[in-house]
Structure 1
Amino acid sequence: MVETPQPRIELYVRSLLPDGAHERQEAVIERLEEMDARGDVEGFSVIVWGKQLARDTAATRTDEGRYILNRVAEFQQWALSNNVSLDSFCQTHAAETEVSDEPKTAITLPVMGLAEYQDGELQHVAPCTKGDSVHTIMDRLKKLEAGLPSVVGTDAGSVRVV
């Protein structure tokens, strides 16, 4: 029997938050540390980002800005391919800037987001929404601990696998 490799996790966390949100981030990081120690995941990284990123600004021309834009584009492509919504993950809107009268398109980044990769391929993004169900980061971590696959919306009897 061929053993399936464990996923690698990227956890995106927003900086400069009130204590309550920071405590939730800490709880997820601690859980990922436990999962890593048990071998439930191949490893994980934590990427810190801000509240939003406006397109066509100096920030998006930096390595970090391009990285975030590329990741968000990858997440959006995954959502389209899996017929899910990332509205609970990030939203695009017009943002005014102090240096220009023209509003810029900005992406509001989540307080916390999770990307799961298997053999370098994106398998899951949380939070995401399928129908009326929001699949949270904690939902996905529970499924990973149980060894369940990363397929969004696959039904196994009355159990929804996420």
Structure 2
Amino acid sequence: MSSNTDPVRLELYVRTLSPPGARTRQEQVLKRLQRLEDEGHIDDFYVKVWGRQIDPTTNAAETDQGEFILNRIAEFKQWALANNTTLESFYQTREQSSSITGQDHTTIVLPKMGLAEYHGNELEQVTPCSHGDDVTSVVNHLDALERRLVDQPTASAAATVAEE
């Protein structure tokens, strides 16, 4: 479990070649992350570009990029399981047939945008995710994070108020 003193790091995953509407949302999220970092509310953020899907059974797992993405997806799914949350509708597994080889293979469709929040080395939140019928989007996640980090008084400000 993380503590309030652990550094907060965010990882934003964006899909390449997204349609214009998705690109606009991605740019808005990037601006918010940069502002949070500039104002000292988060320690760092990292942007990783990924494709539309990944095939865990092919050579993708043998590349550094592919291995990184597959490891993150496994970590995200473990977090979801531990937190009674699901990522299934956002990381859909699909069976596809190769037009070249004629063989079937499994792919994981990646979301247009995903956000992972770490406190120290502990994964605290992954979005998008769902809990029952409630869906938490990347924007919902950032809204809640800003309320926690920006709107709460710092320890020194709280001490000043208590002394008055």
Q: Could you tell me the TM-score, scaled by structure 1's length?
A: 0.85
Which residue pairs with 2:6 in the alignment? 5
Q: How far apart are residue 57 of structure 1 and its match?
A: 1.1
Distance in 2, matches of 1:3 and 1:59, equals 37
Which range moved further: 85-94 or 131-140?
A: 85-94
Partner SS for 1:77: helix
Counterpart mapping for 1:79-118 below 5 A: 79-118=80-119
Deviation at 1:58, TM superposition (A): 1.6
Q: CA deviation at 1:14?
A: 0.1
Q: Which residue of 2 aligns with 1:35?
A: 36
Alpha-carbon RMSD: 1.5
Go from structure 1 to structure 2 and tell me whether the alpha carbon gap of 1:7 and 1:88 turns closer, same or farther (over 3 Å shift). farther
Q: Taking structure 2 as the reference length, what is the TM-score of the superposition?
A: 0.84
Identity of aligned residues (%): 47
Residue 147 of structure 1: how far off its partner (Å) = 1.4
User: Which aligned pairs between 1:112-131 and structure 2 lie closer than 5 A?
Assistant: 112-131=113-132
How many Å apart are 1:30 and its aligned residue? Answer: 0.5
Query: Per the alignment, do residues 18 and 3 of structure 1 end up closer, same or farther by CA in structure 2, a change over 3 Å counting?
Result: closer
The amino acid of 1:25's aligned partner reads: Q
**Any stretches of 5+ residues in structure 1 without a counterpart?**
149-162
1:43-80 deviation digits (Å, cap 9, x = unpaired): 10000000000121122211110110010000000000
State the Cα distance separating 1:137 from its structure 2 match.
0.8
> Residue in 2 aligned with 1:64?
65
Quick check: 1:89–1:113 contact (8 Å CA) kept in 2? no
Equivalent-residue separation in structure 2 for 1:75 and 1:3 (angstroms): 22
TM-superposed CA distance for 1:84, in Å, is 0.4
Alpha-carbon separation, structure 2, partners of 1:19 and 1:122? 30
Partner of 2:22: 21
Question: In structure 2, the residue corresponding to 1:146 is in which secondary structure?
Answer: helix
Q: Deviations over 1:15-39 (max 9, x none)?
A: 0112111111000000100111112
Corresponding residue pairs, total: 147
CA distance in 2, matches of 1:6, 1:119: 5
Q: CA deviation at 1:5?
A: 3.0
User: How far has the Cα of 1:145 moved from its partner?
Assistant: 1.1
C-alpha deviation, 1:89, in angstroms = 2.5
**Matches of 2:4 and 2:73, distance apart in 1:** 30
Counterpart residue type for residue 79 of structure 1: A
Q: CA deviation at 1:95?
A: 1.7
